């Protein structure tokens, strides 16, 4: 349910490689919040996500100001219940372990519980999977989540916008995720 035409968005960061995707997503969603498209941004990290963030981005600072932060074991978080008014959950990056637990209904932490709630309430779940190659187990789990109403958005950058930096390349994925949320943004658009 979108309240006052603004979304409440949950960002979950799993322990998959690709912390830069989460960092850029948080940054861009904060811009959308200042543009009055988002009412609230919630943030939850898996047990391994903060370590991966530190290793990949060479910082312990997480751009989480203007976000409500929740512990991975906080089952009292509002989005752990179907009565909460969160419109979209983005798991970025989404490990195949996290995806497998979601696909098979295992709600053993706040991320998987929230995903279970989002799917059962028919809200939007976007899983930015970051793995290659895929095994048949990965493919089957992606199919299960898709059949349940989730969106699999693989972290596959595009090149037709001719990105010149790693940030521009990463943003080709992040901008696609923002489009999937239904938010307005100024980004490259394919045209004739």
Q: What pLDDT digit, counting tens, does each position of 98-116 carry? A: 999 999 999 999 999 999 9
Query: Which SS3 state, helix, strand or coil, does residue 57 take?
Result: helix
Q: What is the C-alpha separation between 112 and 186, in angstroms, rounded?
A: 32
Listing DSSP states for 63-93 in one string gives --TTSEEE-TT-TTSGGGSTTS---EEEEEE
114-173 pLDDT tens trace: 999 999 999 999 999 999 999 999 999 999 999 999 999 999 999 999 999 999 999 999
Supply the pLDDT for residue 3: 43
42-51 pLDDT, tens digit per residue, is 999 999 999 9
Confidence of residue 190 (pLDDT cuts 50, 70, 90): confident
Domains and CATH numbers, the chain: 7-181 (3.40.50.1950)
What span, in angstroms and rounded, lies between the C-alpha atoms of 111 and 95?
Answer: 12
Mean pLDDT for the chain overall: 93
User: What pTM was computed for the model?
Assistant: 0.94
Task: Say how many C-beta atoms besides its own lie within 10 A of residue 45's C-beta.
Answer: 25
More confident residue, 64 or 36: 36
- At 53-105, the pLDDT tens digits run 999 999 877 766 679 999 999 999 999 998 888 999 999 999 999 999 999 99
Quote the pLDDT of residue 1.
42
pLDDT for res 63:
63
The dihedral sign for the CA sequence 107, 83, 30, 71: negative
Contacts of 135 (CB under 8 A, 6+ apart): none
Residue 65's pLDDT is 66
φ, ψ of residue 11 to 5 degrees: the values are -110, 120
The rounded distance, in Å, linking the Cα atoms of 126 and 174 is 11
Determine the pLDDT at residue 2: 42
- From first CA to last CA, the distance across the chain in angstroms is 36
């Amino acid at each position: 349910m979108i309240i006052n035409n603004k979304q409440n968005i949950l960002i979950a960061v799993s322990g998959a490689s690709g912390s830069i995707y989460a960092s850029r997503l948080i940054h861009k969603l904060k811009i959308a919040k200042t543009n009055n498209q988002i009412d609230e941004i919630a943030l939850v990290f898996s047990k391994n996500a903060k370590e991966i963030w530190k290793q990949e981005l060479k910082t312990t600072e997480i751009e989480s100001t203007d976000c409500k932060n929740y512990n991975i074991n906080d089952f009292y978080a509002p989005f752990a219940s179907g009565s909460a008014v969160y419109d979209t959950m983005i798991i970025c990056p989404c490990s195949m372990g996290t995806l497998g637990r979601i696909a098979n209904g295992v709600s053993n932490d706040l991320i998987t519980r929230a995903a279970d709630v989002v799917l059962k309430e028919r809200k939007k779940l976007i899983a930015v999977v970051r793995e290659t190659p895929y095994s048949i187990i990965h493919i089957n789990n992606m199919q299960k989540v898709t059949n349940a109403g989730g969106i699999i958005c693989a972290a596959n950058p595009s090149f037709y916008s001719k990105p010149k930096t790693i940030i521009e390349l990463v943003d080709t994925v992040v901008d696609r995720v923002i489009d999937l949320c239904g938010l307005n943004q100024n980004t490259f658009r394919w045209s004739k």
